[in-house]
C-alpha cells in the first residue's frame, strides 16, 4: 500500500474518530442533484402506545429488544444490533428538546393537516437501535395502521450536518430505487418540523446474519447448517443481481448488513456507499468520483481499500460475497490482523487466507475465485457466483453420500487384504458377511452419482468397489458373479481386460465339477423369465444364497451373500460406470 493511500486512510479514520476493522468507512462524496428542498413534512402526532419512549442518553447502543433493525450499521460481537457507520461516531446524542418540540407541536396541529398530501402522521413507540449517524425507532404509520421503522439522523440540527443529511437522503433514494423482495422496502422519505430528514421503512423482526453466524460456535458445520447459510447467500445474490441490472453496486456487503426475518426472509440493508456505473443515473454517486478508500476493512475488496473507483463493478460485490462465504466456512472474516492497519493492508494486497482441510473442495474453489485480487480473475457477474453456489448445493448431497460410502469401501478393502493373508474361517468370524460393506459402498456410490453423475470421487470409489467385489468373487470361486461384474463394467465403458485375464486364469485351474451358481440360476428360475415383472438379477441373488447353502458341507459360505447381491452389482454398478 503506497504512502498516499496510507495517508488517506489515516485521515478517514481520524475524522471518524473510530479505529475498528468492523466499521464502515464512508466516502464524503454526494450526488450533485441530492436536495433537501422537495421533501414532504412527516408529523409526529404522539408518543404512541409506549408511555416511556426512550430518549437516549450518551451511549453507543440501545438496550437489546426483541426487534432488531440493522440499517443503523451498529454491530458488536455481543449485541443484536448491527455495526455503526463510523462517520461522526462521536455524535451520539439525540436532542431531547427536538423530540419534545416535535411531539408537542403535533398536539396543536389542525387535524385537517392529516389529510394534506404534504403531511403524514407517525407515532413513535420506542427506540430499537442506533448507530454513529442515526437512530432507529419503532413506530406506527397511522394512515395504514401498520408498524414501521423510523430512521432519523443524530444531531441533524448541527450546521455542519448538511452533507450528512444529503448522504442520508441519497441512501434512502437508492434503496427505494431498488424494488426487490430481498431489499428492504422504503415507505416514505421526508423531514420533521425542523427540516431534518427521516425515513420510514419496513420493520423487520428477526436477526442480523452476523448474529446468526455468531451463535454457531462449532468449527465443524453440519450439512443442514451449511445449506441454511448457502440459501441465505443465494437470496443475497438475487438482490444484488437486481441491483446490478440497475447499475447499482453495493460496496459494503457483510453479515451485519444482511437481515434474516423470523420467517426466513432475507433483506440486504445499508446502501450508504453504493455507487452507480451509469453516468446518466443521478440517484447516487458515480463510481468515477470515488478517489479515496471506503468500506469495511475485514471484508472490503482491494479496489475499495485503494480508493480505485474506476475499478469498481459487479465483481466488487462478488468479492464481498466471497468474503462472507469465507466467514461462513472459517468463522472469521478474510482480513483479520492485530490492528486496523494490518486488516487494511491484507485487503489492499488481496491476501487470501488458508482454509481448513475439512472444507469441501468445491466451496474452497468458489471462495478462492471470488477473493482474487485481480477483478478479471473473479466471478464477473452475480449470476455466475450464484450458479456456482447452486451447483454446490446439488453436489453437496452427493458429496456427503460419497463420504459415507467411502467408509464402507475402506472396510471392504481391509476384508480383501485379510483374505489374502488369513484363512477364510478367520475372516468369516470377524466379518460374517464379507460382501456386505462393498454392497453398501456400491449402493451409496450409485445414489451419489444419480444426484451428480460427474462426481469424481463417487466414480473412482465405484470402480474400486467393483474391482474388489470381483476379487472377492474369485476368492469365493463365484465365477458367475465375476462374469456379471465384468459384463456390467464393459457395458459402461470400463476397461476390464485385466480382470478378464485374471478370471480366465482361475477358470483354467478351477474344479468345475459341481453345478455353478449360474447353472443353478438357469435351471431353477428359467420358468420365471416369461413371468411379467421377472427380475433375473434379483433371482440370481436368491439363487446365490440357495447354492451356498448346498455347499455348507465343505465351508459355510451362506453368510457371504446377502439377498439381492446382484441388484447391487448389476444395478448399482451399472449406474456408475
Domain shared by 460 and 356, yes or no? no
Determine the pLDDT at residue 509: 78
The CA-atom distances, in angstroms, between 564 and each of 125, 295, 464, 469, 540 are 68, 61, 20, 14, 8
Domain that holds residue 152: 17-204
The CATH number of whichever domain residue 99 belongs to comes to 3.30.200.20
CA distance 366 to 383: 13
**Cell matching residue 565:** 447381491
CA dihedral 192→197→202→203, nearest 10 degrees, is -70
pLDDT of 250 strictly over 50: yes
How many residues are listed for the chain in this entry? 577
Domain shared by 441 and 555, yes or no? yes
Domain shared by 270 and 158, yes or no? no
Domain boundary among the residues 178, 204, 230 is at 204
Confidence of residue 477 (pLDDT cuts 50, 70, 90): confident
* 166-196 pLDDT, tens digit each: 888 888 999 999 999 999 999 988 888 777 8
Say which range, 298-307, 317-326, 404-413, 543-552, has the weakest mean pLDDT.
Answer: 543-552
The pLDDT of 248-263, averaged and rounded, is 94
- Is residue 471, in this structure, part of any structural domain at all? yes
Say which range, 17-26, 126-135, 143-152, 322-331, has the weakest mean pLDDT.
Answer: 17-26
Instruction: Please report where in the chains the cell 440486504 appears, as a residue.
Output: 268
The CATH number of whichever domain residue 249 belongs to comes to 1.10.510.10
Say which range, 135-144, 327-336, 350-359, has the weakest mean pLDDT.
Answer: 135-144
Say which range, 13-27, 217-231, 274-288, has the weakest mean pLDDT.
Answer: 13-27
319 in Cβ contact with 337 (< 8 Å): no
Domain shared by 242 and 116, yes or no? no
- Is residue 489, in this structure, part of any structural domain at all? yes
Domain shared by 232 and 324, yes or no? yes
- Is residue 371, in this structure, part of any structural domain at all? yes
Domain boundary among the residues 348, 363, 392 is at 392
DSSP state, residue 273: T
- Is residue 3, in this structure, part of any structural domain at all? no
- Is residue 9, in this structure, part of any structural domain at all? no
Task: Check residues 435 and 277 and name the one with the higher pLDDT.
Answer: 277
pLDDT of 67 strictly over 80: no
Determine the pLDDT at residue 22: 77
Confidence of residue 428 (pLDDT cuts 50, 70, 90): confident
Domain shared by 509 and 561, yes or no? yes
395 in Cβ contact with 420 (< 8 Å): no
Total domains in the chain come to: 3
pLDDT of 519 strictly over 60: no
Domain shared by 289 and 263, yes or no? yes
CA dihedral 497→499→501→502, nearest 10 degrees, is 170
- Is residue 4, in this structure, part of any structural domain at all? no
Confidence of residue 282 (pLDDT cuts 50, 70, 90): confident
DSSP state, residue 204: P
CA distance 238 to 171: 20
Task: Check residues 55 and 24 and name the one with the higher pLDDT.
Answer: 24
Domain boundary among the residues 159, 189, 204 is at 204
- Is residue 343, in this structure, part of any structural domain at all? yes
Domain shared by 165 and 302, yes or no? no
Half-sphere exposure for 561 (CA within 13 Å, toward CB): 26
Domain shared by 228 and 365, yes or no? yes
Domain shared by 376 and 434, yes or no? no
Query: Which of 228, 186, 180 shows the shortest CA–CA distance to 207?
Result: 228
- Is residue 2, in this structure, part of any structural domain at all? no
CA distance 211 to 545: 58
To the nearest whole number, what is the mean pLDDT of the chain? 75
Domain shared by 256 and 377, yes or no? yes
**E runs forming strands in 389-458:** none
The CA-atom distances, in angstroms, between 134 and each of 163, 222, 227, 481 are 14, 38, 35, 75
pLDDT of 528 strictly over 70: no
Domain shared by 227 and 182, yes or no? no
Determine the pLDDT at residue 252: 94
Amino acid at each position: 500500500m503506497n504512502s498516499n493511500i496510507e495517508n488517506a486512510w489515516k485521515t478517514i479514520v481520524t475524522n471518524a474518530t473510530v479505529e475498528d476493522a468492523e466499521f464502515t468507512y464512508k466516502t464524503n462524496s454526494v450526488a450533485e442533484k441530492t436536495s433537501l428542498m422537495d421533501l414532504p413534512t412527516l408529523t409526529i402526532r404522539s408518543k404512541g402506545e409506549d408511555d416511556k419512549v426512550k430518549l437516549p442518553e450518551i451511549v453507543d447502543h440501545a438496550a437489546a429488544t426483541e426487534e432488531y433493525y440493522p440499517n443503523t450499521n451498529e454491530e458488536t460481537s455481543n449485541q443484536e444490533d448491527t455495526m455503526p457507520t463510523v462517520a461522526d461516531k462521536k455524535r451520539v446524542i439525540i436532542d431531547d428538546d427536538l423530540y419534545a418540540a416535535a411531539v408537542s407541536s403535533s398536539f396543536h396541529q389542525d387535524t385537517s393537516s392529516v389529510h394534506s398530501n404534504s403531511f403524514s402522521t407517525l407515532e413513535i413507540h420506542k427506540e430499537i437501535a442506533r448507530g454513529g449517524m442515526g437512530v432507529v425507532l419503532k413506530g406506527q404509520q397511522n394512515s395504514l395502521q401498520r408498524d414501521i421503522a423510523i430512521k432519523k439522523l443524530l444531531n441533524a440540527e448541527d450546521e455542519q450536518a448538511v452533507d450528512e443529511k444529503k448522504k442520508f437522503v441519497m441512501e434512502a433514494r437508492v434503496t427505494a430505487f431498488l424494488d426487490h423482495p430481498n431489499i428492504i422496502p422504503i415507505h416514505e422519505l421526508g423531514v420533521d418540523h425542523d427540516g431534518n430528514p427521516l425515513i420510514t421503512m419496513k420493520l423487520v423482526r428477526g436477526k442480523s446474519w452476523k448474529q446468526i453466524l455468531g451463535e454457531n460456535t462449532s468449527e465443524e458445520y453440519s450439512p443442514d447448517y451449511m445449506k441454511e447459510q448457502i440459501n441465505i447467500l443465494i437470496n443475497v445474490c438475487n438482490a444484488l443481481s437486481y441491483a446490478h441490472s440497475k447499475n447499482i453496486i453495493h460496496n459494503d456487503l457483510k453479515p451485519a448488513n444482511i437481515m434474516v426475518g423470523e420467517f426466513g426472509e432475507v433483506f440486504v440493508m445499508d446502501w450508504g456507499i453504493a455507487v452507480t456505473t451509469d453516468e446518466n443515473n443521478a440517484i447516487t454517486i458515480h463510481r468515477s468520483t470515488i478517489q479515496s478508500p471506503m468500506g469495511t476493512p475485514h471484508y472490503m475488496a482491494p479496489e475499495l481499500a485503494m480508493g480505485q473507483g474506476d475499478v469498481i463493478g459487479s465483481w466488487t460485490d462478488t468479492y464481498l460475497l466471497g468474503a462472507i462465504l469465507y466467514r461462513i466456512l472459517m468463522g472469521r472474516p478474510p482480513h483479520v490482523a492485530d490492528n486496523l492497519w494490518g486488516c487494511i493492508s491484507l485487503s489492499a494486497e488481496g491476501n487470501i487466507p488458508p482454509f481448513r482441510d475439512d472444507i469441501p473442495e468445491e466451496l474452497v474453489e468458489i471462495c478462492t475465485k471470488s477473493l482474487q485480487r485481480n477483478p478479471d480473475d473473479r466471478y464477473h457477474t452475480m449470476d455466475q457466483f450464484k450458479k456456482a453456489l447452486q451447483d454446490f448445493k446439488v453436489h453437496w448431497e452427493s458429496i456427503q453420500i460419497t463420504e459415507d460410502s467411502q467408509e464402507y469401501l475402506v472396510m471392504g478393502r481391509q476384508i480383501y487384504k485379510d483374505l489374502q493373508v488369513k484363512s477364510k474361517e478367520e475372516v468369516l468370524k470377524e466379518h460374517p458377511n464379507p460382501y456386505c460393506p462393498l454392497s453398501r459402498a456400491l449402493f451409496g456410490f450409485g445414489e451419489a452419482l444419480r444426484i451428480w453423475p460427474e462426481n469424481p470421487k463417487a466414480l473412482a470409489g465405484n470402480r474400486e468397489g467393483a474391482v474388489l467385489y470381483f476379487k472377492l468373487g474369485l476368492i469365493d470361486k463365484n465365477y458367475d458373479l465375476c462374469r456379471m461384474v465384468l459384463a456390467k463394467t464393459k457395458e459402461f465403458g470400463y476397461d476390464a481386460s485385466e480382470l478378464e485375464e485374471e478370471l480366465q486364469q482361475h477358470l483354467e485351474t478351477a474344479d468345475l465339477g459341481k453345478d455353478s451358481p449360474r447353472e443353478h440360476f438357469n435351471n431353477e428360475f428359467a420358468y420365471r423369465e416369461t413371468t411379467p415383472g421377472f427380475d433375473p438379477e434379483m433371482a440370481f441373488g436368491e439363487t446365490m444364497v440357495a447354492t451356498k447353502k448346498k455347499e455348507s458341507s465343505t465351508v459355510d459360505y451362506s453368510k457371504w451373500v446377502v439377498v439381492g447381491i446382484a441388484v447391487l452389482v448389476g444395478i448399482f454398478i451399472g449406474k456408475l460406470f
